[in-house]
Chain A
């Protein structure tokens, strides 16, 4: 009987039979384990289990002791590897539904399914987070050394050659201060000189793609969805060129454009003009989606919120207004400065906004609550602001560019992280996505500055791949067009789409109630049962009604009270634990 017996079956019976019978020939698939050898182990495990039942806390230790050398080694880490809670938290989407005891079964199954699925999605996303291996770091000075005193040349010398080559200057003194824009994947650079010089460069390889002089004032330049097209806001109209420098369109509806922003997921080019118009151009169909007269005068300060694609405009009266294409009035108006707003920047997560004004102040706002977090005074005033993907703020004051760390937070700015002096007045600053590089356009040309820790180290290759081939770009373009987000969906809270439209729901419900004469969703009023023997008197009925009245409110109150009690208990326990911790062994002699 070499074959292992299943435990539930009467083994003795079979064994007897086999003794009488001829010994069965040993088959190669049969296990060579001896049942006798196996038994003690099983017994042990059973014993261990019993003990575990009695004292579950000591379990691992006991088990260790009982394990004989002949026993199979147990997997010390059974099951799937756990995911750290913080990482899970990172991928959490919304709150779970709290169960009510009286939910329908069908509903239960539906909710359960959705919950399991969302848990799975969260878990897997957290697991796959491992695949983002790159880490970001910052420049760290020696003792008594400020990082802002380290010059770019030193950094370029210290780092490896490829990184060092990212610090360079383009000497373009002829065509005035330069505006610049990096493409979404950070590979291509677009330069627009005030006096008409437009150039696009593959700046990794320093490969000049095209260079033209439009023979007109250039107010702003912007890449469109790919590096194949870019928009140039010229003196009168808006022009679109391709990467070879060929003029594709001249859009005369968009006149006197001063600043532009491109919303990549909506394929919208938002322009702010000197006449106070905010216009949206759908690049995918070539149509003007909206033209909003802001009635705020000249619009030369503009930024976009990458989180919800809302356009922020800065105005001469010190206000910042937030716009979406479908609403003719500003979503929000903030009074930020006592002077005109000079520059604006919004952080990647859409939580913070940094503004600078003519009153030489730099202010940080939380745009979820529209509350002012902190401000600081810059003696020279900031003309250009830019926030990097990892939250580094670059401030251009005159011919100096300062970079600040930890801007987005409650602690105020103290001292710059880095600084760099340029030869001319700074006209535009922009961080290169996925690179530790800050591009600065100034009067004497363009400077690419190394700012360690500025860029996001991990890029999503399906979204913005710096190393993509032409084929990949084409495919991406098709996919992106298919997934184009409608301009209707630009609202302050993008999560609103996942919510029920309460206003229309209420309207409809109202109409229904009117037509039916009663509320179909409303709770039926409590009707006390008729009772005999005088117990159904009016007073008794009222009393009975009172018992049930406001039951739902009572439930809410009960819950809140319970929560409060629990919190208090926890606090008390914590306090107790703290006290116990504080007590030393010698405290018992104190009196």
Chain B
């Protein structure tokens, strides 16, 4: 979680600086091109070309950065489920949130179309070895209800033998730990 917040801090300042730089480069190029055309100063052309290359490079970098963010946001859906924790949402801009909700919608409609009732493909990311797993509680989590209605008290250092599918979410959140013996 810590690493998520570190890289996800929207590099707004950085982006703004890049955009400003691109703007100033473009303006300089613009004036140089006009000068070159009107005054016929051919020696300005290499500097125009250089600035143009810089502009293209900046564009590539910014695009790559934004695309990488989108890929990570997509991975968040698989890791955290459809509701993102507040501190992650804080670092996303409005458009990214919109993209996330649209991705959620398309994933959900895809899952609904599988099989008769739909299939939740975000469960069981690795092929499960058994129906029930042994888990250890790492922190006090209070009461937890499982499918048949029974309630389990998750207290620190207690161990439980529970159905796999109920535990996965809590294991991802770090409340439970899978014990392999």
Are A and B physically bound partners?
A: no
Binding site for A on B (CB under 8 A): none
Binding site for B on A (CB under 8 A): none
